[in-house]
Amino acid sequence: MKDSLSILNVSGPYREPREPVFSYDYSIQRSDWPTANSVRIKVSIPDEFDYLKNKILAVSGGSPGQQLRVTQLLSRRIADRKLQIADEQSMLLERRDVMIDPFTGPLLHLFAPLEAWMSEQKASLRQEVREQVGL
């Protein structure tokens, strides 16, 4: 059995230049690692974020500040889930820095569990947006 993953710190979202993605930097640790490692998770704006926001949740409207908060909230939830999926797929077992690209192209097979999570969490995500953003 693999050692459980601990998240020490998360920063972001960052807007990647020349790519339609938001990225988050995670500092992760396993008990058998002497030091923490970093993982950069990229969230595709058109393929992952917009899919959740527009097709699954149908969130629209609001002030620019509300839209910014929705973006921060939903992109972070996607990045957190993508980190879990990557860990479940044993992509984070080695002690090295890792970049998890959008679940498109070569990683398209990982979009199915992400999409299933989006559908399962639809009600709770809507409630979170309603409570924290007011939309």
Q: For the segment 80-132, what is each residue's pLDDT rounded down to a tens digit?
A: 999 999 999 999 988 888 999 999 999 999 999 999 999 999 999 999 999 99
12 lies in some domain = yes
Mean pLDDT over all residues of the chain? Answer: 93
Residue 75 structural domain: 6-133
99 lies in some domain = yes
Count H helices, E strands: the chain?
4, 4
121 lies in some domain = yes
- Chain-centroid distance, C-alpha 9: 14
- The arithmetic mean of pLDDT across residues 43-47, rounded, is 97
Q: Does residue 1 register a pLDDT over 70? A: no
Q: Does residue 134 register a pLDDT over 70? A: yes
Domain count, the chain: 1
101 lies in some domain = yes
56 lies in some domain = yes
Strand partners, 21: 44
1 lies in some domain = no
